[in-house]
Amino acid sequence: MLVTKAMHIPKNVTPTSRRKVALMLFLLVDILLVMLFRSDPTAEIIFQVRPKRHFLDFPSRSVNGNDSFMTLGDVFTSLESPVIMTTVNHGFVDLLHNLLFSIQRISLKKDIVIICEDRSSYLELSQGVKGLNITYHAVLTLLDESVENATNYGSKTYLSLVQKRVIYMKHFVRSKLDVLYIDADIVLLGDPFPHFKEDYDIVIQSDDEWGLNLCTGFMFFRVKERLHIFLDAWSRELHSDKRGNQGTFNSVRRKYRRLVNIQVLPVKEFASGKMFRKSSTPWRERVPRPVEVHANWVVGHAKKVDMLKEADLWFVPPRDPN
């Protein structure tokens, strides 16, 4: 009864004023919810000790006296903002290699964190990649491990993978690190950071030319206090939404459009698979030249690899027969 009375809006208030008051009340309630949720910080959820899954403990530790698994907590103190972060399971390691070689090709010098969603990908990446001379931090997820096989868009395993993303992003931002998240099926053809305008909290790719369907496969989050409210709201809604993280992100960003500033990147320079394939012009001849290409809107691991190879976007060196 107290809450109902406190939220009552007098009838003599103009429609515009009523909307402003309603918005202020909505934001106030959400801030109160965030404060309640923060009594159990994300860091405690991420770094919780799980007796039955002892290799997920923080910090890294030995498993059966043999392999030692690095986790996010082992690398955070050594990172410099902004950080590039990506996630991978074993089925997509070859696509991740291609992303890393594309970064090496443009001589981009940033700290790179690879969150491995299974032990097979972690062990392979921990051994290094032949011909790759850039440094990266491979860490094992602190959440439940995923399947090792490549997953298709919309599948249950795909949804479980992508829904972890917001938890990882929350921890980077709360650790005072600006972070660029990149899907493993992306290539960088130029340095994206000069394109990120300083006065925006979130910089993100769009799957269409109108900026209606923003793509959470390529997004930059800048450390801002108000961003915590947005990330907490996104995280909460994921639990009751079966569309994956992207549909939920687009829903939440419309609700919070007055709270966070979002820069939508131009689709010619930052191209989704759908937008990239609208032109048959080789990417080196396009004006403007693409900075980033995402092999989304292509379903299936093999088809993604084929698309990148056909577009001359496969940068992994051929295997040495010897």
5 CB-contact burial (10 Å; exposed 0-12 / middle 13-18 / buried 19+):
exposed
Token digits for 288?
A: 């403007």
Q: What is the pLDDT of residues 207-240, one digit of tens each?
A: 999 999 999 999 999 999 999 999 999 988 887 6
pLDDT at site 21: 63
Residues forming beta bridges with residue 263, ordered by sequence position = 203
Task: Kindly state the average pLDDT of the residues 18-35.
Answer: 60
| Nearest alpha-carbon partner for 195 in 203, 187, 207 | 203
pLDDT at site 42: 37
Cis peptide before 82 (omega within 30 of 0): yes
Amino acid at site 229? I
Alpha-carbon separation of residue 163 from 19, 148, 191, 237, 249 (angstroms): 32, 17, 27, 11, 11
Highest mean pLDDT among 46-60, 157-171, 275-289: 275-289
Q: What is the pLDDT of residues 254-270, one digit of tens each?
A: 999 999 999 999 999 99
DSSP 272: -
Q: Where are the beta strands (DSSP E) in 222-269?
A: 262-264
| Nearest alpha-carbon partner for 155 in 249, 241, 244 | 244
Q: What is the pLDDT of residues 110-168, one digit of tens each?
A: 999 999 988 999 999 999 999 999 999 999 986 655 544 544 444 455 456 567 888 89
Element (H, E) at 27: helix 15-37
Q: Is the pLDDT of residue 313 over 60?
A: yes
In this structure, of 46-50, 95-99, 161-165, 250-254, the range with the lowest mean pLDDT score is: 46-50
230 CB-contact burial (10 Å; exposed 0-12 / middle 13-18 / buried 19+):
buried
Token digits for 57?
A: 């403990």
pLDDT at site 37: 43
User: What sign does the dihedral 148-153-156-159 (CA atoms) show?
Assistant: positive
Distance CA(238)–CA(244), nearest Å, equals 7
Are the beta carbons of 288 and 311 closer than 8 angstroms? no
Q: What is the pLDDT of residues 62-85, one digit of tens each?
A: 433 445 788 888 898 899 999 999
Distance CA(196)–CA(192), nearest Å, equals 7
Q: What is the pLDDT of residues 169-195, one digit of tens each?
A: 999 999 999 999 999 999 999 999 999
Q: What is the pLDDT of residues 15-25, one digit of tens each?
A: 666 666 666 66
